[in-house]
Amino acid sequence: MKTESRRFYRALASLVIPITVQNFITSAVNSADVFMLGYVGQTELSAVSLANQFQFLLSGVFFGISSGVTMLASQYWGKKDTNSIQAVMGIAMKIAAVITAVLAIGAVAAPKALMGIYTNDETLISIGAGYLKVIGVSYVCMSFSQVYLCALRSMERARLSTVISTTALLMNIALNAVFIFGIGGAPKLGVLGVAIGTVTARVLELLLCLLDALRGKVFRIDPRIMFGSHRLLFQDFVKYAVPALINDCAWTVAFSMYSAIMGRLNADVVAASSVASTVRNLCTILCFALGAGASVLLGIEIGEGKLELAKRDARRSCYVTLAIGVLTGIFLLLIRPGVFYFFHLSDRATGYLNHMLLISSYYVVGQAMNTLLIAGIFRAGGDSKFGMICDIVDMWFVSVPLGILAAFVLKLPPMAVYFVLCLDEFWKIPVVYRHYKSFRWLKDITREYDGQQ
């Protein structure tokens, strides 16, 4: 048993470490944007924070689509069925391309209308609209690159996925610095410079993915398989991925509603919330990487028919994630005093930030466990419907209505509203744990590929 445990922890580490590095670089880029824009002005920081809610929504779409890819691709990788993996990738890319095209057209054609969803401040709308009009171009690039990078991780090539993302995102940081501060004689473009840097990085990421696809190291891309008609696999993808997509969209739109609620309180709350979210995202990257790594490993084991092993490894994943979640909360408390030195906020915004970080220190524990179970363990076994129902009920029938009630009916202080919104992860813990112990999520969802399915 000790040998089995060591095997699991080594395999988990081999996936989690590169995924953590990739997530850290991604979060670091977003943090660098916030940090550098903080020097431009609090108004610019708030505007870009609200405009990036559409990037946040898109990340939810990609997370849902990628979950469908991971559910199917990791189990097919357990069988070493690369033709089915190609077909799944093609299905996911076509769906992602349609969704991103709609959002990109909206960002480019009607940016002010989109910004008006989150704020009624004309200054924030004007600045954010200029940013959205440029950044919308990057959404389309992601429809290929994000699906491809997810497939790499599902086939235990997380290191390459990390290298590609890291290269692109480091370029993003460098270009942001050049255009924000006018380094090397470049024009100081401020918010517009951040948008240009992000678009350039996404184009580079897409090119690197295409280069690896053409190399064909694991399998040579066959367009007839990838973009052909696969009726049964498409049905499988819809069955398993659509609930995950709805789940993640419902989750991200609800979080976006939290921003809309906070954004109508005052500008200081928006700035403080932006910084608190940035710090929390940086601190929880390992927790999210554990969920992603566990999903791939358990999916491969289920695809290999090792169901009892998958049960034991799911339990080990829970122990590790709980420990990391608690340590993350403690770490947040320890670094809280130092955060105020890195962001130039008003006195009132600083006071808000202090309370938000305190609340975040326990919030991350619930977030870590629910992410592992719903987006990691359950989806590894093809169970995406439970998470969809759970999150829709929890967030749209409990948390969002309570937030609106607290903010606009009871007119509670901003920090009381923030506290109410941050209870969402704790309402669902008993139900999620009960479903985990039932093992109804544990299923082999693969088929035998015949070239026509």
DSSP state of 79: T
3-state secondary structure of 312: helix
What is the pLDDT averaged over residues 281-309? Answer: 88
How sure is the predictor about 26, in pLDDT bands with cuts at 50, 70 and 90? low
Q: Render pLDDT for 306-315 as a digit per residue (tens, 0 to 9).
A: 889 999 999 9
Domain positions in the chain are 2-438
What is the pLDDT averaged over residues 389-398? Answer: 93
By the 10 Å C-beta count (0-12 exposed, 13-18 middle, 19+ buried), 223 is classed as exposed
How sure is the predictor about 410, in pLDDT bands with cuts at 50, 70 and 90? very high
Report the pLDDT value the prediction gives residue 360, as an integer from 0 to 100: 92
* pLDDT at 452 exceeding the cut of 60: no
Tokens 């994943």, residue?
317
Q: Render pLDDT for 116-127 as a digit per residue (tens, 0 to 9).
A: 887 788 888 888
How sure is the predictor about 168, in pLDDT bands with cuts at 50, 70 and 90? confident
Report the pLDDT value the prediction gives residue 418, as an integer from 0 to 100: 92
Quote the mean pLDDT of the chain.
85
How sure is the predictor about 345, in pLDDT bands with cuts at 50, 70 and 90? confident
Which range among 188-192, 350-354, 370-374 shows the weakest confidence by mean pLDDT? 188-192
Q: What is the CA radius of gyration of the chain?
A: 21
What is the pLDDT averaged over residues 401-430? Answer: 92
How sure is the predictor about 172, in pLDDT bands with cuts at 50, 70 and 90? confident
Element (H, E) at 174: helix 158-181
* pTM for this predicted structure: 0.74
3-state secondary structure of 9: helix
